[in-house]
Amino acid sequence: MSEAVDLGFPSLRLVPKTEAPQTAKDFKTDQEVRWCPGCGDYAILAGVQSFMPELGLKKENIVWISGIGCSSRFPYYMNTYGMHSIHGRAPAIASGLAMTRPDLSVWVVTGDGDALSIGGNHLMHALRRNVNLKILLFNNRIYGLTKGQYSPTSEFGKVTKSTPLGSLDYPFNPVSFALGAEASFVARTIDSDRKHLTETLRAAALHEGTALVEIYQNCNIFNDGAWDPLKDSDHRDSLTFRLEHGKPITLVDGSRGVYRAEDGTLQIADVDEVGRRSLLIHDAHAADPSVAFGLSRLSDPLSLANTPIGVFRDVKRATYDEMFQAQLHKAQEGGRGDLAALIAGKDTWEIAP
Amino acid sequence: MTKEVVQLDQVIIRFAGDSGDGMQLTGDQFTSRTAEFGNDLSTLPDFPAEIRAPAGTLPGVSAFQLHFADHEIMTPGDSPNVLVAMNPAALKANIKDLPRGADLILNTDEFTSRNLAKVGYDTNPLDDGSLDSFRVHPIALTSLTVEALKDFDLGKKEAERAKNMFALGMLSWLYHRPTEATIEFLGNKFGRTPEILAANIAAFEAGWSYGETTEEFSVQYEIRPARMKPGRYRNISGNVALSYGLIAASERAGIPLYLGSYPITPASEILHELSKHKNFGVMTFQAEDEIAGIGAALGASYGGMIGVTTTSGPGVALKSETIGLAVALELPLVIVDVQRGGPSTGLPTKTEQADLLQAMFGRNGEAPVPIVAPCSPADCFNAAIEAVRIATTYRTPVFLLSDGYLANGSEPWQIPSIESLPDLTVQFASEPNHTNDDGSMDFWPFIRDPETLARPWAVPGTPGLEHRIGGIEKADGSGNISYDAANHDKMVRLRQAKIDGIDVPDVVVDDPSGDARVLLLGWGSTFGPIGAAVRRVRSEGLPVAEAHLRHLNPFPKNLGEVLKGYDKVVIPEMNLGQLALLIRGKYLVDAIPYNQVRGLPFKAEELAGVIKDVIASV
């Protein structure tokens, strides 16, 4: 629908660029933000609004689509086009929009319940198709909008209103899920770390195809402190692996690192013990997702020890929307169809007056 | 040898055999040649949901019925004059539908004791006298085919498979059908395997020659071309006509068509058909499930496409929440429901009209959706255009209620000129439409057109119209989230008023004598059977009126007046009285429902009996 513009963001090359400089304020709406005071969503919203001008896109060519849940109110607060849809279905709706409108930058906001419970099927298929969507999954390990039931990412045994004796569900690891679903881009970041959040959003925006960004987000009402060990300045550096392409994988404090054991599994050991040269070098562009998957399994869902943060996987694969449009163009190379010829078909007869 | 030629005014043939015997293909070819010859015709394919049930069993019987005539006909016919049964199962499954004196062409090779036992025949009907009231033509179709192909380098199994072509050749001779196009069709189908192609042609020709020479058939039949309105014709099935209607609507609107769909019987063929026409800019997406199919279609509509989803009843159940979202968002969307027997999986390959109330009411909250229903296979073309017109004009999801009978049945269609199709040009929003208190301009997504009550269709990419919409109740005008009680009451009524106010043509009553006191009211695919029944009743000198509804929501404005003009209103439906419930509720008319849910269209003779009983009671 519009001229192609090279933005330096290959995934957005068909989206028209703005001429006027933008600021975060341009992306704010006049609607009162109605999340609970202290909710992690505020930090993510501010982070996204600050990042958006960097894309340099015309605001009218940006669309935010969400499902249902606290996080899904997000589109109302972004001064772009937006749709607050129904529970779990945002990836399906966004797919229909993105594949028909290559001139749009389409973003999906979802939560752990929306994306992984009711909408698991759509998320899985969006990821494998590699539609040009950026999916932000706010993971707070609880159902907030329905007031505090356990979610598919809640830790085993979680006591909530619906599980007074503890939840019996083994939790999903969204990164493992996405890698298993053939995702071409998977990353994880934290609501309170603005710098890392922005870096991760940038990487996702640069990626051609579906990008899944899991954002650890705090629900201070129903699951306060769920990610505290990863935020608390006393502990976080000894609990978090910071994944950076081309660099050895170590905890932020450098004490321990990841290496490949003889049985092929990824193991963690003191760097001094195994030696720096034995450490695994992070390759986000590796075609084979098995190392990325191995990395996603390092963290302990209860204590959060050994949690990797950053881009797990970022590989090039033909995008669905691009191939979809290519088929359309190819079919019309020989000229557009002739409606009269189509409806008549090849086998007609004439009744004379 | 020249045989006597007998003139007939109409014939009903049913081809029946195992699912693997190629009966649908045989029927299709016979139909195409009949259309080419110029007879009016109507077809009824009737096949099992199983792809290949065990050979020779009753559940595996697949049949194709064709009614053709030298005059206008409206149905595939009540009972066949001719049954071609390829095995004992096909005979057993169909014999009850045949009137005395009907012709039975039986493939004797398959009437072995094993095959007879498989379907519960204790004695062989070929010689136990049970078929004495029929004209039986015992013909060894399989061995005649194998004999005809003995010079080909084919295995016995492969040669036997051509027996449907032998049968087709024989029937083509018997009813004077043209042959060239059948041979051309075989060329296209088997062109890549010359040996198989040659064998099929040889079997077809052997069947023709057999008909000519055998003493089994003493006469040849001729059914003269029907006198139809002048013009160019083709034969078309409902699913193809519906697909073409959607493409035509897209062309006339100047907006690309987008189909989001998930395969389901009997609607999948629309997905297949539309997928072939990307050169019209038609976009098709086979989604991961029914919900994603409609979700993607709604996303495309939001982006300015004509979003369509195709399904059957079980799929509609899954899509209900998204249809409700489309009602709330007030975006165009067409939901095609090719109805089949229900509830649940029900009868996937059989027809029914039992989704009317699901289409009407099957959502949470007050969520009115317009409903359009085609009345014949070819009419699916016009109904699809009408559904798109309503969706785009009123920014609303629209139900298009076809059914299994319309979908697979076919009839001759006078091809319309493109210019005669309605202009569906759409005006997208391009300018702000609201002045703020400070004098600045803004875009409010829920300011309505005073005439249609439609809201603006503002697609992403339009500068200055950035806005947010959602399933939460919106403030009238601004579209911002609103939980205000009075606003909700207003919005519910506005959405209802928009649908109630849709401009639909008046229903036309057919009452040639003007003396009728009984009205037959129908909708959808009962049009043919009701029409045929009414014709029979009138031919006996009894007056009866007939009206058929294309629009089920809203009803035509004159419907109430029409209903009040008759002493009795009879509503035949392939459900347990769904339209009758709506009519009684809305118009307080004591309508008489007549209902069958047998998975097959009504028989004209039965309906005629019902009508006569009601007339007698007036």
Nearest to A101 by CA among B307, B123, B166: B307
Strands (E), A217-324: 240-243, 256-260, 266-270, 307-314
State pLDDT tens for residues A330-347: 999 999 999 999 999 988
A125, A349, A351 member nearest B229 (Cβ): A351
Q: How confident is the model at residue A23 (pLDDT cuts 50, 70, 90)?
A: very high
Q: Inter-axis angle of helices B527-539 and B604-617, to 10 degrees?
A: 60
- Given a cut of 50, whether residue A1 has pLDDT beyond it is no
B250 reaches A (C-beta below 8 A): no
Q: Is A69 on the interface with B (CB under 8 A)?
A: no
Instruction: Give the model confidence (pLDDT) of A158-183 as tens digits.
Output: 999 999 999 999 999 999 999 999 99
Which residues from chain B sit within 8 angstroms of residue A61, using beta carbons? Answer: 460-461
Q: Does A92 touch chain B (CB under 8 A)?
A: yes
Of A78, A86, A347, the CB nearest to B322: A86
Distances (CA, A) of B83 to B16, B69, B95, B409: 7, 17, 8, 18
Q: A123 is written with which tokens?
A: 């998320």
pLDDT (0 to 100) of residue B49: 83
State which amino acid sits at residue B50. E
Cα–Cα nearest to B311, from B339, B348, B285: B339
- The C-alpha of A146 sits at a distance from chain B's nearest C-alpha, in angstroms, of 15
**Residue B362 burial (CB count, 10 A):** 18
A326 at the B interface (CB within 8 A)?
no
* Rounded-to-integer distance, Cα B569 and Cα B517, Å: 9
Q: Are A93 and B295 in contact (CB under 8 A)?
A: yes
Q: Which domains does chain B have, with CATH numbers?
A: 4-223 (3.40.920.10), 234-420 (3.40.50.970), 427-503 (no CATH), 509-617 (3.40.50.920)
**pLDDT on residue B1:** 53
**Quick one: pLDDT band at residue A8, thresholds 50, 70, 90?**
low
Contact B461 A99 (CB under 8 A): no
A100 and B258 within 8 Å at the Cβ level: the answer is yes
**pLDDT at residue B191, rounded to an integer:** 87
- The reply to whether residue B322 touches residue A89, judged by beta carbons under 8 angstroms, is yes
Cβ of A343 within 8 Å of Cβ of B305? The answer is no
Return the number of other C-beta atoms located less than 10 Å from residue B215's C-beta.
7
Residues in chain A closer than 8 A to B466 (CB atoms): 59-60, 79-81
With a cut of 80, say whether residue A11 has pLDDT above it. no
Query: Is-contact B500 B554, C-beta < 8 A?
Result: yes
Where do we find the tokens 């015997």?
B21
Residue window 190-249, chain B: list those with CB within 8 Å of chain A. 228-236, 244, 247-248
pLDDT tens, position by position, A269-310: 999 999 999 999 999 999 999 999 999 999 999 999 999 999
Measured between CB atoms, which of A59, A93, A349 is closest to B299? A93
Say how many C-beta atoms besides its own lie within 10 A of residue B343's C-beta: 10
pTM exceeding 0.90: yes
Identify all chain A residues contacting B232, using CB atoms and an 8 Å cutoff. Answer: 344, 348-351
For residue B439, the model assigns a pLDDT of 96
Comparing A62-76, A225-239, A248-262, B221-235, which segment has the lowest mean pLDDT? B221-235
CA distance A23 to chain B (A): 17
H or E stretch covering A213: strand A211-216
Question: What pLDDT, in 10s, does the model give residues B260-306?
Answer: 999 999 999 999 999 999 999 999 999 999 999 999 999 999 999 99
- Work out the burial of residue B417: count CB atoms within 10 Å of its CB; fewer than 13 is exposed, 13-18 middle, 19 or more buried: exposed
Residue of B nearest to A27 (CA): B466
Q: Which of residues 1-60 of A touch B (CB under 8 A)?
A: 1-2, 16, 29, 31, 58-60
DSSP-based three-state secondary structure for B270: helix
Residue A323 touches partner B, C-beta closer than 8 Å: no
Across the range A84-101, mean pLDDT stands at 98
Cis peptide before B554 (omega within 30 of 0): yes
The model's confidence at residue A7, banded by pLDDT at 50, 70 and 90, is: very low
- SS3 sequence of B520-558: EEEEHHHHHHHHHHHHHHHHCCCCCEEEEECEEECCCCC
CA distances from B126 to A57, B104, B144, B348 (A): 80, 11, 18, 34
CA atoms within 13 A on the CB side of B272: 9
Neighbours of B576 (CB within 10 A): 12
Q: Which residues of B touch A83 (CB under 8 A)?
A: 302, 329, 468-470
B242: closest chain A residue by CA = A343
Convert A236-261 to b/e letters by CB count within 10 Å (16 or more is b). beebbbebeeeebbbbeeeebbbbee
CA atoms within 13 A on the CB side of B570: 26
- B463/A60 Cβ within 8 A: yes
The average pLDDT across A234-255 equals: 97
DSSP symbol at B231: E
Q: Pick from B250, B288, B290, B444 the residue to mutate for testing the A interface (most A CBs within 10 Å).
A: B288
Reported as a single tens digit per residue, the pLDDT across B374-425 is 999 999 999 999 999 999 999 999 999 999 999 999 999 999 999 999 999 9
The answer to whether A349 contacts B297, with C-beta atoms less than 8 Å apart, is: no
pLDDT in tens, B10-20: 999 999 999 88
Cβ separation of A351 and B417 shorter than 8 Å? Answer: no
CB contact under 8 A, A101 and B292: no
Instruction: Give the closest-approach CA distance of B303 to chain A in angstroms.
Output: 6
Quick one: what percent of chain B has pLDDT higher than 70? Answer: 100
User: Vertex B412, ends B510 and B524: CA angle to 5°?
Assistant: 45
Q: Which one has a higher pLDDT value, A236 or A13? A: A236
A343 and B244: CB-CB below 8 Å?
yes
What residue in A sits closest to B227 (Cα-Cα)? A351
Chain A: closest CA distance from residue B30 (Å)? 14
Average pLDDT, chain B: 95
CB–CB of B24/B51 below 8 Å?
no
Q: Which residue's structure tokens are 């341009």?
A: A26
Any B CB within 8 A of A125 CB: yes
Sign for the pseudo-dihedral over CA of B576, B580, B585, B586: positive
Q: Please state, in angstroms and rounded to a whole number, the distance separating the CA atoms of residues B243 and B42.
A: 19
B-contacting residues in A 254-273 (Cβ below 8 Å)? none
Q: What is the DSSP letter of B226?
A: P
What's the whole-number mean pLDDT along residues B536-565? 97
**B247:A342 CB<8 A:** yes
Q: Which residues of B fall within a CB distance of 8 Å from A101?
A: 303-304, 460-461
pLDDT of residue A167: 97
User: Which residues of B, range 392-421, sit inside 8 Å of A by Cβ?
Assistant: 415-418
| First-to-last C-alpha distance (Å) of chain B | 59
- The ipTM, to two decimals, is 0.96
CB contact under 8 A, A60 and B460: yes
Q: Averaged over B328-345, what is the pLDDT?
A: 98
Residues of chain A contacting B471 with CB distance shorter than 8 Å: 68, 84-86
Q: Is the pLDDT of residue A2 over 60?
A: no
CB atoms under 10 Å from CB of B95, counted, come to 17
The per-residue DSSP string of A172-191 comes to P-HHHHHHHTT-SEEEEEET
Average pLDDT of the residues of chain A: 95
Q: How confident is the model at residue A72 (pLDDT cuts 50, 70, 90)?
A: very high
Start-to-end CA span in chain A (Å)? 47
Mean pLDDT in residue range B78-87: 95
Residue A6, pLDDT above cutoff 60 = no
Q: Is B465 on the interface with A (CB under 8 A)?
A: yes
DSSP conformation letters of A12-70 = GTTSPBPSS---GGGGB-SSPP-SPTT-HHHHHHHHHHHHHHHH-B-GGGEEEEE-SSS
